[in-house]
């Protein structure tokens, strides 16, 4: 990828900002009122070219370099969480598939996804296992067909997607080497049960699914990569950049919380004095500002390390998410406190921001997992 010229990138940032603060806010209100993401929102994101920002041109994308794409993700993250989620997922799933797919598979699965014609749900997490080599969903091969058995849960877009990019293991195996990745069509296959599990604390509108499979037949031609490469597909090309993207979404949402807090502090008067004139409130806003800038700098450093292919990119990605998540917690808490009792009511945008801020704490691994990654790297001298 080549760097965008400053003028071109500035124009793209203005375009995204104008949409987020205009139509994006209208959609945010509709999503909160109805609890659903309208089909025309997905179409508008697609038609504006917001769903193919990060993918290379050979796949139909706009080839925006990763660090610059994250600055756009920062802006999208100031909008409704479901809008951010759509942009994040569609601009990221191709990374998992591309290194392992044949050209024919790319044309079938990746290109329609990048074009915004098909939606792919990343399908790894299980209720009775972790999110790695201990997965229990199995496949059994008979000639040219895999028969899928098991369950998945917390699958974002798992209800309405066209395909599940699903991780399973060969029946009778244990550990990483028995894993496979497979494209499973969400077309009412025999033995496939989709349970809508979308009633969440925040991120309203984004659907989530519990999936149960009972001898569900899937063509062996839909396997991504080789048998034994399942976790390489699911984690290798996807998790690291996705983790940094989630970290940047924390920055964008924190910036929105700070913006709302400043606006309220400038408007609200108590005992004849605006909140913004009170030292305690200024301290809150100062701490928020410093917190946001520090996290943003680390996230961009992690993004550039990934873009360059640095050996410490993985550690930086975990560190950036760890720092950004904790920062978002602090910033949204202070922003809500500045609003006082007003912030507790749904008519105020800070209420939604505060709820939505919880989601990043478990997206792409909890902070406890990130600390393990960083801690191991520190004690082994790999940083």
- Based on the domain organization, do 311 and 189 belong to the same domain? no
Cα–Cα distance for residue pair 231/225, rounded to 1 Å: 10
Phi, psi of 167 (to 5 degrees): -100, 135
Residue ending a domain, choose from 227, 257, 281: 227
Count CB-CB contacts under 10 A for residue 50: 23
| Residue 108: inside a domain | no
Same domain, 13 and 45: yes
Catalytic residue among 68, 126, 363, 364: 364
How far apart are alpha carbons 222 and 120 in whole angstroms?
14
Q: Is 364 a catalytic residue?
A: yes
Strands 138-142 and 163-170 turn out to be parallel
Q: Which of 227, 246, 278 is the last residue of a domain?
A: 227
Q: Which two tokens stand for residue 351?
A: 């209420």
Is 170 found in the same domain as 65?
no
Is 232 a member of any domain? no
Assess if residue 97 is contained within a domain: no
Please state, for a pLDDT cut of 70, what percent of the chain lies above it.
99
Q: Both 252 and 330 in a single domain?
A: yes
Regarding whether 281 and 310 lie in a shared domain, the answer is: yes
Cβ-contact 101, 109 below 8 angstroms: yes
Q: pLDDT tens, 284-324?
A: 999 999 999 999 999 999 999 999 999 999 999 999 999 99
Instruction: With respect to residue 275, please indicate whether it lies within any of the assigned structural domains.
Output: yes
Task: Output 364 or 20, whichever has higher pLDDT.
Answer: 20
259: containing domain: 238-379
Model pLDDT, residue 368: 94
* DSSP-derived 3-state class of residue 380: coil
* Run of H or E residues at 219: strand 208-219
* Domain-ending residue, one of 208, 227, 246: 227
Q: What token pair was written down for 5?
A: 């010229």
**Total domain count, the chain:** 3
d(CA 29, CA 213): 36
Are 249 and 366 within one domain? Answer: yes
The pLDDT mean for the chain works out to 95
Task: Supply the CATH number for residue 11's domain.
Answer: 1.10.540.10
Both ends of the chain: CA-CA distance in Å?
26
Are 272 and 331 contained in the same domain? yes
Residues 13-36, mean pLDDT to the nearest whole number: 96
Asked if residue 152 and residue 221 are part of one domain, the reply reads: yes
Q: What is the pLDDT of residues 183-196, one digit of tens each?
A: 999 999 999 999 99
Do 255 and 223 belong to one domain?
Answer: no
pLDDT higher than 70, residue 3: no
Q: Are residues 127 and 168 in the same domain?
A: yes
Q: Which residue has the tokens 């104008």?
A: 18
Domain for residue 98, yes or no? no
With a cut of 60, say whether residue 130 has pLDDT above it.
yes
Residue 273: give its domain's CATH number. 1.20.140.10
pLDDT exceeds 50 at position 90: yes
pLDDT at 227 > cutoff 50: yes
100 belongs to a structural domain: no
Cβ atoms of residues 209 and 155 within 8 Å: yes
pLDDT at 331 over 80: yes
Please report the pLDDT score of residue 208 as a whole number.
Answer: 95
> Using CB atoms within 10 A of its CB, is residue 101 exposed (0-12), middle (13-18) or buried (19+)?
buried
**C-alpha pair distances (Å), 46 with each of 90, 247, 359:** 10, 24, 24
Q: Which two tokens stand for residue 238?
A: 């996807």
pLDDT tens, position by position, 202-225:
999 999 999 999 999 999 999 999
Q: In this predicted structure, what is the pLDDT of residue 2?
A: 52
């Amino acid at each position: 990828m080549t760097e965008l010229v400053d003028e071109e990138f500035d124009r793209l940032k203005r375009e995204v900002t104008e949409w987020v603060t205009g139509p994006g806010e209208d959609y945010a209100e509709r999503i909160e009122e109805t609890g659903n993401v309208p089909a025309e929102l997905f179409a508008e994101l697609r038609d504006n070219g917001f769903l193919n920002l990060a993918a290379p041109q050979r796949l139909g994308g706009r080839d925006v370099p990763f660090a610059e794409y994250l600055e756009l993700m920062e802006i999208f993250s100031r909008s409704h969480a479901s809008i951010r989620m759509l942009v994040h997922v569609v601009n990221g799933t191709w990374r998992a598939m591309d290194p392992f797919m044949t050209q024919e598979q790319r044309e079938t699965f990746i290109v329609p996804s990048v074009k915004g014609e098909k939606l792919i749900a990343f399908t790894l997490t299980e209720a009775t296992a972790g999110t790695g080599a201990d997965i229990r969903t199995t496949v059994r091969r008979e000639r040219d067909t895999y028969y899928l058995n098991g369950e998945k849960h917390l699958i974002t877009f798992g209800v309405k997607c066209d395909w599940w990019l699903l991780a399973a293991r060969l029946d009778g195996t244990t550990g990483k080497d028995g894993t496979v990745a497979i494209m499973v069509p969400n077309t009412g296959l025999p033995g496939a049960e989709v349970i809508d599990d979308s009633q969440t604390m925040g991120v309203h509108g984004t659907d989530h699914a519990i999936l149960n499979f009972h001898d569900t037949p899937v063509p062996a031609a839909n396997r991504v990569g080789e048998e034994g490469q399942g976790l390489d597909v699911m984690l290798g090309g996807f998790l690291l950049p996705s983790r940094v993207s989630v970290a940047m979404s924390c920055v964008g949402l924190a910036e929105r919380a700070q913006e709302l807090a400043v606006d309220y502090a400038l408007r609200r008067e108590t005992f004849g004095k605006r909140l913004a004139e009170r030292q305690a409130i200024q301290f809150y806003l100062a701490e928020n500002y410093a917190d946001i800038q520090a996290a943003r700098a680390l996230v961009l450093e992690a993004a550039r390390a990934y873009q360059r292919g640095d050996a410490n990119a993985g550690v930086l990605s975990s560190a950036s998410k760890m720092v950004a998540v904790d920062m978002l917690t602090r910033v949204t808490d202070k922003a809500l406190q500045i609003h006082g009792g007003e912030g507790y009511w749904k008519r105020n945008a800070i209420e939604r921001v505060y709820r939505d801020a919880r989601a990043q704490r478990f997206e792409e691994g909890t902070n406890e997992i990130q600390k393990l990654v960083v801690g191991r790297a520190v004690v082994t001298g790999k940083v």
